[in-house]
Amino acid sequence: MKIFAMRLGKDFLILIALFVLSAGVYYSGTKFHIPWYGANDFSQYYQMTLNPFDNDVGSPFAYRMFVPVIAHFIYESGLFYESSLTPYKDYYLSHRGIDYEPSILSAIIFTNYIFLALAAFFTYKSTKVIFAQSNHTDHIMPVMLSSLIFLSFSTNVHGYAGLTEGGALFLVSLLCYLALKNYLILFSLICISSILGRELIPLVLTVYVVFASAQKRRSYFIIVSALAFMMYFALRSYFQIPGAEHQTDLNSFISNLLTFSLTKAFFLQAILANNIPIFVGLLAIYFGGKHLKPFVPYVIIIVILSVLGIGTGIGNNVGRILNIATPILVIYLAEMICRLRPQLENIK
């Protein structure tokens, strides 16, 4: 019992440390973020946060209730920071003839701040599991690896914003941890519920557990993840909400893929904006090209997400959905470091 209490206390300190570490990025977001420059989806989440269960939000945003509902209660409680000296209000109070309440944006950004810190925490817990499975004792590296969540360009721009990226990253990192710990029942409940955070989360987890060779009861985790993803389409079919019908239309999907062309804007915003995968790739090449092999499952995930993003016509926002797989990338990086330990110890 005493050992458990000590571990719990240390985990709490790490969690607080991650909140402190990301506080600067959060402050920057709440002070300078302007939704109408790359985050127009905020207009949908604004309505959902103001009135979670009574609004005119269309599909697919209406199904992403996780962050807006929590942001609603945070907004009602007033437990969030709102800068009185921020330039964004001049560009934000009114947009396209609609007046917006600045406190709603502040509440959503604060909610994302909480979830991004939690995402880093469960990424930390996952990397600790990886190190323990490899019989490596390292108390510093898991903390350092988890901080990569905050260094992601996409997290900086779209995480601390009026969107739902923080909740998506949190759910992915939590589900990865539960899979690594073999907590099947809890994993099942959260994975099914995650379609209310972002519909792509169960798909990402399906690919992750397919390649998790050390995963106990892997087939059960695969089945749960795949079923959760299919349940999203059942949800859209049963509770039909107008909007974005082209995203589920096969002809439109194929047409978007065939007519896609790589533009400068797409290259900069969807590819280069994902700086953490590029960093990890260069790191793996530095230690030898063979170290790229463990990242093949991650590459498959981002290829699938890219195809889905292009096919559904979200354009440069593909970069945003690629970022939700960052916790998985960090887990694979931890595995690479474990394999590199003997080589690193010989470096003088």
pLDDT in tens, 254-285: 999 999 998 988 888 888 889 999 999 998 88
Distance, CA of 331 to CA of 348 (rounded, Å): 27
Q: What tokens does 332 get?
A: 């694979």
Question: Do 138 and 111 touch, CB atoms closer than 8 A?
Answer: no
Q: What is the pLDDT of residues 11-68, one digit of tens each?
A: 999 999 999 999 999 999 988 888 888 888 999 999 999 999 888 899 999 999 999 9
What is the number of alpha carbons within 13 Å of residue 5 lying toward its C-beta?
2
Place of tokens 């029942």: 185
* Residue 348 in this model has a pLDDT that exceeds 70: no
Separation of alpha carbons 204 and 26, rounded Å: 26
pLDDT of residue 217: 81
Average pLDDT, the chain: 89
Q: Residues 213-256: pLDDT tens digits?
A: 666 788 899 999 999 999 999 998 888 888 877 777 889 999 99
Residue 314 to residues 9, 27, 41, 77: CA-CA distances in angstroms?
A: 43, 28, 11, 34
Q: Are 7 and 117 in contact (CB under 8 A)?
A: no
Q: Which percentage of the chain shows pLDDT scores above 70?
A: 93
Neighbours of 277 (CB within 10 A): 19
Structure tokens at 37: 């420059």
Q: What pLDDT score does 292 carry?
A: 82
Please check the confidence at residue 10 and state whether its pLDDT lies above 80: yes
pLDDT confidence band for 134 (50 / 70 / 90): confident
Q: Measured between alpha carbons, how far apart are the two ends of the chain, in Å? A: 42
- Read off the pLDDT of residues 285-330 as tens digits, 9 standing for 90 and up: 888 877 788 899 999 999 999 999 999 988 888 989 999 999 999 9
**What pLDDT score does 258 carry?**
92
- Cα distances from 69 to residues 72, 75, 175, in angstroms, run 5, 10, 20
Count Cβ neighbours within 10 Å for each residue of 226-239 and write b for 16 or more, e otherwise. Answer: bebbebbeeebeee
Average pLDDT value for residue range 103-111: 93
pLDDT at 311: 92
- Between 344 and 24, the higher pLDDT residue: 24
pLDDT tens string 147-183: 999 999 999 999 999 999 999 999 999 999 999 999 9
Asked if residue 85 has pLDDT above 70, the reply is: no
Could you tell me the pLDDT band of residue 346, with boundaries at 50, 70 and 90? Answer: low
What confidence score (pLDDT) does residue 345 get? 57
Cis bond before residue 87 (omega within 30° of 0): no
The amino acid sitting at 278 is: I
> Which CA distances in Å does 102 have to 31, 78, 176, 239?
11, 12, 35, 31
Amino acid (1-letter code) at residue 207: V
Q: How far apart are CA 168 and CA 181, in angstroms?
A: 20
pLDDT, average across residues 90-98: 77
Q: How far is it, in rounded angstroms, from Cα 169 to Cα 194?
A: 11
pLDDT > 70? residue 344? no
pLDDT computed for residue 273 by the predictor = 86
2 pLDDT band, cuts 50/70/90, is: low
pLDDT of residue 5: 62
What is the distance of C-alpha 329 from the center of its chain? 12
Q: What is the residue type of 221? A: F
